[in-house]
Structures are given as C-alpha cells and as structure tokens.
Amino acid sequence: MRLLHTICVWMLTLIGIVHICFGFLTFQDFSTNLLWFIGSGLAMIFIGLLNFMFRLNSTQRLAYGLNQIGNLLLFFFVITVNSIALMPPGIIGLIVLMLLLFSSYKIYVLASESHT
C-alpha cells in the first residue's frame, strides 16, 4: 500500500509540474487565465507535498485528517473541472486522487493498528 501511495504522490506532483509548464505553452501572454492555470498546478503540487508529510506522521489522526481533507477538496475540484471540460489528464488526475484517498486510508488504519 505504501508503494501505491508513493507512486500516486509522485504522479500527482508530476502532473502539477506539467500543468504549470503547459500553462506557459497554452497562454502566450501573462494573464489571469495563466495565473489560474498555474494555481491549479500549484494545488496539485501542494497536495502531493501534504501526502509526503502524512507518510512521515501516518499514525497521527490530525495528519491523516488534514491529508484526506486536502485530497477530497482537490478530488471534488477535479470532478468539477472534468464536468466542464473532460480531458484525458483530468481522468488520470481523478484516478490518482481516488487511489491516494484509498491508500492514505489503508496506511492510516494499518499504522494505527500496529501502533496500539
């Protein structure tokens, strides 16, 4: 489960970096559209970093709760974006986030059981 979580975290972080780079290719001028695009990429990177931090504190309820809240917020944001403009990267993002939600839950449960 930890390997799946690590792969998904790296994938989400990489998708965020690619999203930011793609924004500069899509928008030729420095506009609010570009800034929103960059902001979405940064959100993916930040959630990836939050998941890395969760792995360091996987037995703490607060770390787990904050991690899952971040994952859920990004998950619902990606669902909303996909309902407006369905594209393959959005579908990949949804799959990665579903796997992150599931693997984070399993890691927390297993860590809590072995910690007690």
The string of pLDDT tens digits covering residues 37-85 is 999 999 999 999 999 999 998 989 999 999 999 999 999 999 999 999 9
What are 64-67's contacts with CB under 8 Å, separation 24+? Answer: 64/104, 64/108, 67/104
3-12: average pLDDT: 96
- The residue type at 11: M
Which helix (H) or strand (E) segment is 29 a member of?
none
29: left (phi over 0), alpha (psi -120 to 50) or beta: beta
89 pLDDT more than 90: no
Mean pLDDT of 25-37: 92
C-alpha dist (Å) from residue 10 to 3, 4, 59, 109: 11, 10, 21, 22
pLDDT of residue 112: 86
Tokens 């360091």 correspond to: 56
Instruction: Please name the helix (run of DSSP H) or strand (run of DSSP E) that holds residue 105, with its range, or none.
Output: helix 88-115
Is residue 20 scored above 80 in pLDDT?
A: yes
Per-residue pLDDT tens over the stretch 91-115: 999 999 999 999 999 999 999 888 7
